[in-house]
Amino acid sequence: MTDQRSQAEIVRQSLKQRYRKERRFRAYGIAAIAVALAALVILFADIIGKGYAGFMKTTLTLDVQLDGEMMYLDDASDERQLKMADFVEPLVQALIKEVPSATESDRDAVRDLINPYASVTLRDALKANPEWLNTTRTMTFLAHTDVDVYVKHAGDEAYSIKLSEQQQAWVDQLQEQGVVETSFNDVFFENGDSRDPSKAGILGAVVGSLLTMFVTLILSFPIGVAAAIYLEEFAPQNKLTDFIEVNINNLAAVPSIIFGLLGLAVFINLFGMPRSVPVVGGLVLTLMTLPTIIISSRAAIKSVPPSIREAAEGIGASKMQVVLHHVLPLAMPGMLTGSIIGMAQALGETAPLLLIGMVAFIVDVPDGFFDSATVLPVQVFLWAGSPELAFIERASAAIMVLLTFLISMNALAIWMRKRLERRW
């Protein structure tokens, strides 16, 4: 009796300590989550804090007098004349008119407020509408990057303002007059890369990413699923299949740059495929994604209960019918989820693309699988390394676009799992 009581006593006495221990254990867990969340919050705050300005552009709205004599142009449909004509002068004149304090001697300082590519915009407008010659048009042009930086970041220590004090005064005045305005940066979504931050956009990289991902999906999904089905349903259990399984698991852990080296050696050097094209990028990323898809597809097939197979076999279905009519449809949600996660991984990959030449300055938006292209994370990498400070905000803005893609892909995977998953 006394023994038993003392045992209960011991338990009771230690209870407090055990509760304390448990509380401490929980606190550790909460602290761990807090650290992870804090890191995430800091990351997002930094990216959004830097990147929001990248979604704004600074423009000049000018009444441009398209005087043929000033431009040395008397027929805007003549290609040769268009090539030789001066499209800068009308812009400078229009801007000087808006700044009464500027005189002819300040023309260089005034010109430096206009984006160097504004003259190209004017040329293309005239090319498309030759009848505009010798009329006055109200048109909107991009401002110079220095003006853009000044308007967005005046007073910000991190940015050096390159405008002179006189130019700053003009810009302030023009802002009051409504000539200089900031608006949503549609240029960012309509253009390819550029060395001029105001003109740089991500469309080229987004299209490149989509083309590359399409090649990856169309190759890796069927191959991965076929491999998984064979290994799970048909392959005999022996040393060879064990060996294959070990290798597939190993491949999933191989650093991605190795796949880039392989791609360079096989696709480019051996098969003579061109550099920097989405097809080669897609092939390399296929190699990288395949193990992920095979492993997740095998897990999905394994989770289909054997009773389904047995029932199908029981009513006389062949092995192939069992697999195609019963196992595959039931395993499909799991396979798709695994594939989407594999694709999301591939979407964020830069290292293997470095070796096959997709880390490159490409201005034109690709329009096919054999056109030079780059991808979103590479664009981020290129801009982050640029000396121009205005590219930093573009890089952060591009990160936000990339994250949006990744989050929506992962959300789709979760939604499909919730929606299609069947519990047994």
Partner 1 sequence: MKLNKALAIAAVAGSVAAMSAPAMARDTISIVGSSTVYPFATVVAERFGTKTDYNTPKLESTGSGGGMKLFCQGIGTQHPDITNASRRMKPSEYDLCQKNGVKDITEFRIGSDGIVIASSNKADNLDITLEQLFLALGKEVPNPENEKELIPNPYKTWSEIDSGLPNVAIRVMGPPPTSGTRDSFNELALQGGCEDLPAVADMSEDDMEAVCQSIREDGAFIEAGENDNLIVQKLIDDEGMYGVFGYSFLEENADRLQAATLNGKVPTAEGIAADEYPVARSLFFYVKKAHVGVIPGMAEYVEEFVSPAAMGPNGYLKSVGLIVPPREALMNLQDKAADLPNLQKDELM
Q: Which residues make up the interface to partner 1 (CB under 8 A)? A: 116-117, 120, 194-196, 215, 218-219, 221-223, 225-226, 229, 268, 271-276, 279, 283, 324, 328, 357, 359-364, 369-372, 385, 387, 389
Crossing angle of the two packed helices 256-263 and 278-302, in degrees rounded to 10? 130
In the complex, what is the shortest distance from the CB of residue 215 to partner 1, in angstroms, rounded to a whole number?
8
Which residues does 254 contact at the CB level (< 8 Å), separation at least 6? none
Based on CB atoms, which residue is closest to partner 1, 69 or 157? 157
Instruction: For the CB of residue 162, give the shortest distance to partner 1 in the complex, in Å.
Output: 9
When the beta carbons of 171 and 228 are compared against partner 1, the nearer one is: 228
Please choose, from the candidates 408, 394, 348, 386, the residue with its C-alpha nearest in 3D space to the C-alpha of residue 187: 394
Residue number with CB closer to partner 1 (52 or 370): 370
Integer Cα distance of 270 and 154 in angstroms:
54
Q: Which is nearer to partner 1, 179 or 342 (CB)?
A: 342
At residue 182, the 3 state secondary structure works out as: strand
275 vs 309, which CB is nearer to partner 1?
275
Tokens 């279905």 correspond to: 317
- Contacts of residue 126, Cβ cutoff 8 Å, sequence gap at least 6: 66, 73, 76, 82, 87, 132, 133
Min dist. Cβ of residue 90 to partner 1 (A)? 18
Min separation Cβ 279 and partner 1, Å: 5
Computed on alpha carbons and rounded to an integer, the radius of gyration of the chain in Å comes to 31
Closer to partner 1 by Cβ: residue 271 or 424: 271
Contact 236, 261 (CB under 8 A): no
Write down the residue that tokens 């492993």 correspond to: 295
Q: Smallest distance, Å, CB 372 to partner 1?
A: 4
Determine contact, residues 419/361, Cβ cutoff 8 Å.
no
Residue 272 CB, nearest approach to partner 1 (Å): 4
39 or 226, CB closer to partner 1? 226
Q: Which lies closer to partner 1 via its Cβ, residue 30 or residue 158? A: 158
Distances (CA, A) of 318 to 124, 302, 314, 315, 327: 66, 19, 10, 9, 12
We find the least distance from the C-beta atom of residue 55 to partner 1, in angstroms, to be 23
* SS3 readout for 275-341: CCCHHHHHHHHHHHHHHHHHHHHHHHHHCCCHHHHHHHHHCCCCHHHHHHHHHHHHHHHHHHHHHHH
- Comparing CB distances to partner 1, the nearer of 153 and 406 is 153
Give the shortest CB-306-to-partner 1 separation in angstroms. Answer: 21
Bridge partners for 142 per DSSP? 59
Whole-number minimum distance, CB 71 to partner 1, in Å? 16
- Determine the Cα angle at 51 with ends 47 and 55, to 5°: 150
For residues 399 and 325, give the distance between their C-alpha atoms in angstroms, rounded to a whole number.
Answer: 42
CB of 87 vs partner 1, minimal distance in Å: 12
**Pick 276 or 337: Cβ nearer partner 1:** 276
